[in-house]
């Protein structure tokens, strides 16, 4: 089988390029997520769109809704037909739809286009993460997957900077901001056309010569003999995921749902938190948002540097328990105590990203058997978007109805529940090849007699 040797952690230039091209899907996701919030605010300020709070909630969550079904279908299709086709075509949809956002005349049209954007992103992320996981050397798999997510943080940060740069242009700024995501998407689409198929997927299909060529193009080392699929012949699907592999589904689904919902306190709603300090107004919201994304970026960079040394499981415990503790501190700190309030928020942002966001994405790309990997990643991506959609709808309403402290109490309980699930169903994968992980998973989830 053409795969990285366990003791060969070299990363070729072509593999680095593949990582960057895959990571750009995350960049576009967060760039688009943040830009729509800024764009609707600018449009409303210049009386370009009539935007109500419910319109904003729908615009924020429409992309999540589109991504849910797309993730489920894309993962299943990718396991059956390969990673590469969707890896190229999904960006074509993004390139076509993103500029159309600049031409909308009402919020309803924008929400519909946001739904299509979500479909494109929902297709891209599970396929991209799976492709990198299946080509990364064992000793750097966690680092490369985590580094991909740093691009997600970069996308959000760059979106804030672009919004600030476009503000002086006046009423046209929101349209330019919405359309601007198409520029990097076009570049990545062109470059992705040369990406090879996953060698591991080809090997699992019995296409050994193609697997050898794909591995060679990525600079991967060769093993002399092909190994039979650990999960048996034929393609696996959601039936197998929710029966034979239900423990994996519960573990990763809970992890993704809770971290995504909690993450919206950092990615979309930090301005609402800091409004308690009197930091109101659009410019202050952008500055607070930029601070949040800097912390997200720092957390992901740290995770990339240590996840293959410390391991996934210890970091996941830190993320769930640390987030619960720091949210408790934040909820009980008076906004008048600015240093403590700011410090609690910054610590929460850093710890939750380091210990939850990073390990969750690494786990989802490596714990499922090869013939189920993209299906499992698609399911995990869908749970991530469900958690984000629930929070996008629920946070503003819950904040208005029950207040700041009760809102954070909900997230505290959620992260404590997550810790129990991680403790009960989690396992360590550091230093293990995908084949070793698959053997361990199969031993814990034997096929029915």
Tens digits of residue pLDDT in 23-54: 898 899 888 877 887 787 788 778 787 667 67
Nearest to 419, CA basis, from 347, 327, 332, 322 = 322
Q: How confident is the model at residue 230 (pLDDT cuts 50, 70, 90)?
A: low
Average pLDDT score, the chain: 85
Tell me the average pLDDT across 264-275. Answer: 72
CATH of the structural domain 13-219+237-444, one choice from 2.40.160.40, 1.10.10.350, 1.20.1250.20, 3.40.50.720: 1.20.1250.20
**Euclidean distance between CA atoms 382 and 71, whole angstroms:** 5
- Rounded Cα distance, 208 and 203, in Å: 5
The whole-angstrom separation of Cα 274 and Cα 284 is 9
Q: What is the pLDDT of residue 310?
A: 95
pLDDT at 224 over 70: no
Give the angle 108-292-118 at the CA atoms, nearest 5°. Answer: 30
CB proximity list for 268: less than 8 A, separation 6 or greater = 33, 34, 37, 60, 392, 395
CB-based burial, 130-139: b 16+ in 10 Å, e otherwise = bbbbbbbbbb
The structure's pTM equals 0.82
Out of 195-209, 212-226, 262-276, 308-322, give the one with best mean pLDDT.
Answer: 308-322
Residue 280 confidence (pLDDT): 56
Judge contact between 162 and 177, C-beta under 8 A.
Answer: yes
Residues 349-374, mean pLDDT to the nearest whole number: 90
pLDDT at position 286: 66
In whole angstroms, give the CA distance from residue 77 to residue 82: 7
Alpha carbons 188 and 17: distance in angstroms, whole number: 11
Spell out the residues 6+ positions from residue 430 whose beta carbon is closer than 8 angstroms to its own: 142, 307, 308, 309, 310, 311, 312
Q: Which two tokens stand for residue 148?
A: 């991909």
CA distance 37 to 43: 10
The token duo for 73 is 């279908």
197 contact partners, CB below 8 Å, separation of at least 6 = 82, 83, 84, 210, 214
Q: What ranges in 353-403 are assigned the alpha helix state H?
A: 358-366, 373-402
Can you give the pLDDT at residue 299? Answer: 92
Full DSSP string of 320-357: HHHHHHHHHHHHTS-TTSHHHHHHHHHHHHHHHIIIII
Report the alpha-carbon distance of residue 384 to residue 68 in Å, rounded: 8
Question: Residue 209 pLDDT more than 70?
Answer: yes
The whole-angstrom separation of Cα 246 and Cα 235 is 17
Query: From residue 26, how far is each of 97, 281, 397 by CA, in Å?
Result: 17, 28, 28
pLDDT of residue 284: 62
What DSSP element (H or E) covers 37? Answer: helix 13-45
CA distance 245 to 118: 28
Segment 71-104, tens digit of pLDDT: 888 888 888 888 888 888 888 999 999 999 999 9
Contact yes or no for 150/23 (Cβ under 8 A): yes
**In this model, does residue 270 exceed pLDDT 80?**
no
């Amino acid at each position: 089988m053409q795969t990285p040797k366990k003791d060969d952690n070299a990363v070729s230039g072509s593999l680095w390029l593949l990582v960057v091209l895959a990571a750009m899907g995350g960049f576009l996701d967060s760039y688009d997520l943040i830009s729509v919030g800024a764009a609707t605010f600018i449009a409303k300020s210049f009386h370009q769109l009539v935007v109500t709070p419910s319109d904003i909630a729908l615009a924020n969550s429409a992309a999540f809704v589109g991504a849910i079904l797309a993730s489920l279908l894309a993962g299943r299709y990718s396991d059956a037909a390969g990673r590469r086709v969707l890896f190229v075509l999904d960006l074509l949809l993004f390139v076509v739809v993103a500029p159309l956002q600049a031409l909308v005349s009402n919020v309803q049209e924008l929400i519909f286009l946001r739904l299509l954007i979500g479909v494109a992103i929902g297709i891209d992320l599970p396929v991209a993460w799976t492709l990198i996981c299946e080509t990364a050397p064992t000793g750097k798999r966690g680092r490369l997957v985590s580094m991909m997510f740093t691009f997600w943080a970069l996308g959000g940060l760059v979106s804030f900077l672009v919004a600030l740069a476009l503000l002086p242009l006046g009423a046209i700024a929101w349209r330019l901001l919405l359309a601007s995501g198409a520029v990097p998407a076009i570049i990545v689409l062109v470059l992705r056309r040369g990406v090879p198929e996953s060698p591991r997927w080809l090997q699992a299909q019995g296409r050994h010569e193609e697997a050898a060529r794909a591995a060679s193009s990525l600079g991967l080392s060769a093993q002399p003999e092909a190994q039979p699929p650990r999960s048996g012949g034929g393609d696996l699907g959601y039936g197998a995921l929710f029966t034979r592999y239900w423990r994996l589904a519960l573990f990763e689904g809970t992890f993704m749902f809770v971290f995504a919902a909690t993450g919206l306190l950092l990615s979309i709603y930090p301005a609402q938190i800091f409004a308690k300090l009197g930091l109101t107004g659009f410019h202050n919201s952008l500055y607070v948002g930029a601070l949040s994304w800097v912390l997200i970026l720092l957390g992901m960079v740290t995770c990339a540097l240590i996840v293959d040394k410390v391991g996934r499981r210890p970091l996941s415990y830190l993320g769930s328990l640390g987030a619960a503790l720091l949210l408790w501190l934040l909820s009980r700190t008076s906004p008048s105590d600015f240093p403590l309030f700011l410090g609690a928020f910054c610590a929460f942002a850093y710890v939750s990203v380091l210990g939850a966001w990073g390990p969750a994405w690494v786990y989802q790309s490596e714990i499922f058997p090869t013939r189920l990997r993209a299906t499992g990643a698609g399911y995990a991506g869908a749970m991530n978007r469900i958690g984000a959609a629930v929070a996008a709808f629920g946070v503003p309403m819950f904040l208005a109805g029950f207040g700041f402290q009760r809102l954070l109490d909900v997230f505290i309980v959620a992260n404590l529940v997550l810790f129990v699930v991680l403790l009960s169903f989690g396992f360590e994968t550091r230093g293990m090849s995908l084949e070793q992980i698959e053997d361990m998973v199969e031993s814990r989830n034997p096929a029915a007699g």
